[in-house]
Structure 1
Amino acid sequence: MRALLFDLDGTLADTDRLHERAWLESLRPYGIEGDHAFYQEHISGGLNPEIAARLLPHLPEAERAALVEAKEQRFRELAQGLEGLPGLPELWRWAGERELARGLVTNAPRRNVEFLLRALSLEFDLVVLAEELPTGKPDPLPYRAALERLGLAPAEALAFEDSPSGVRSAVGAGIPTVGLTTGHDPRGLEEAGAFLLIRDFSDGRLWERLEELFGGGSSD
């Protein structure tokens, strides 16, 4: 194992509830009265242009793009003061001590990525943005790109994801994947291929598995 690869939203920080609120507020003027179940089924884990095109196919592309930008601006307003999930600083330090590469693989737009990484005070060795690739999650391409850029085989990485879409992407690239149960039904994460489910990075089951993989894993 030579690298840890992370999703962003719902994985490094509990942002799903903020994205849900921003999306539902933004869609309401267009006659879409969504709820949590609607968000989970039609929005969570997707790429913004694809979400907008699927939900509002009758709108001109420029208007959909403006809606997406307004939604993301609202998200950043809601995310002021955001903190990382419990245990993240300990895992970050632990990975650094073992000289593991840390990569970010996300469907999030660049402005959100830059905003959240500043808020969380995190720097990655590699950032892969799905919006800069031909296709995003759940396609395996973003994770395959990360492996290629790091020069790693799939078995040399461990991925962390919070959505079935993200888990399918990582598992499709052959990477062992841990599912975080921050916002999705654990059964969906398991069915997508996550080999371990945890509530956050302080979960003892994660540290037991890290100890098996590396020896000496500890959240203390």
Structure 2
Amino acid sequence: MSRVLLLDNRLEILAVGLDLDGTLLDSEEVNVSATLETLRHFHVPEPIGGFNTKTLVGATNNQVFTAILESIGNKALFGLVGKMSAFKRQRFRECIGDTVPVSGAVKFVRVLGLKSLPRALVTSAGNLSMSIALERLGLAREEFEVLLPSDALAQGILPKPDLGQWKEASRLLGRAEEPKSVLAVEDSPKGVSSAHGAGLTVCGIMTTHSEDELLNSGASFVVRSFAELAERLSITL
């Protein structure tokens, strides 16, 4: 097995796990648009003064709509959360063509493969949305040793932002006893906190959040781009 060393602390990284939306795929604008369209479709008013779009990043659709309904004090609509999530997922899939890969993301995934470093895709999205996103990225499912969408989790394992999904990713990568040897790349505080809680080494990538937000959530270090991350790992994109 190939090994990549982090230059700053010489920590051996034996596998890499990557978030999808916001990390590999620049999808925040489409995600927000689909969420707002869903609220209009179900005649749900936006919270007074709008809502912080950053709260959408790193959360499941059910979590997002539950939080929105709580914020406007309309718990009577909780029964619609499942239908709202399904509607939003469909709109997101229909608009996936408006998303673009994060700069350097695809090349980074492929360079890891050339170095025989196991790769996991760990996402709050379901399997169908993940597959559509991979197609948009131009990446094959076979380019990841582990694919872990939220709907593939065994009963009792909760998706991000719970730490269970990242713990399961470490296990599937064969690093359950040494989670620090797995580098998790996340763009959101929720995702960072999840991976940190599971004991992984966490790189926060500043595609959707600030350095302070990511560090305060438990990131081991923060980079601005995949080019910077590659440099930290002494690999060339």
- Same-fold call, TM > 0.5? yes
* Cα pair 2:15 2:182 within 8 Å, conserved: yes
Number of aligned residues? 210
**Alpha carbons of structure 1 residues 50 and 81: separation in structure 2 relative to 1, 3 Å:** closer
Distance 1:184 1:35 in 2: 21
2:44 to 23, 30, 33: 30
Aligned to 1:125: 145
1:43-77: per-residue Cα shift (whole Å, max 9, x none)? Answer: 3221222222333331253x322221111122122
After superposition, where does 1:48-127 map in structure 2 within 5 Å? 48-56=61-69, 57-59=75-77, 61=79, 63-80=80-97, 82-122=99-139, 123=141, 124-127=144-147
Change in Cα spacing, 1:207 to 1:187, as seen in structure 2 (3 Å) is same
1:9 to 17, 21, 24: 21
Amino acid aligned to 1:138: P
Identity over the aligned pairs, expressed in percent?
A: 33
1:40 shift after superposition: 1.8
Report 1:64-213 matches (<5 A).
64-80=81-97, 82-122=99-139, 123=141, 124-133=144-153, 134-152=157-175, 153-203=178-228, 206-211=229-234
Task: Provide the C-alpha distance between the structure 1 equivalents of 2:89 and 2:110, rounded to a whole number of angstroms.
Answer: 30
- Offset at residue 5 of structure 1 (A): 0.3
Given the superposition, is the C-alpha separation of residues 6 and 73 from structure 1 closer, same or farther in structure 2, using an over 3 Å criterion?
same
Report the TM-score when normalising by structure 2: 0.81
**Residue by residue, what CA displacement relative to the aligned partner does 1:113-146 show, whole Å, maximum 9, x if unpaired?**
1110111122221111234443122221111101
Structure 1 length normalisation: TM-score? Answer: 0.86
Query: Cα offset for 1:80?
Result: 0.8
Structure 1 gap segments, 5+ residues each: 212-216
* Contact residue 102 and residue 126 of structure 1 kept, 8 A: yes
Distance 2:30 2:81 in 1: 20
Residue identity matched to 1:208: E
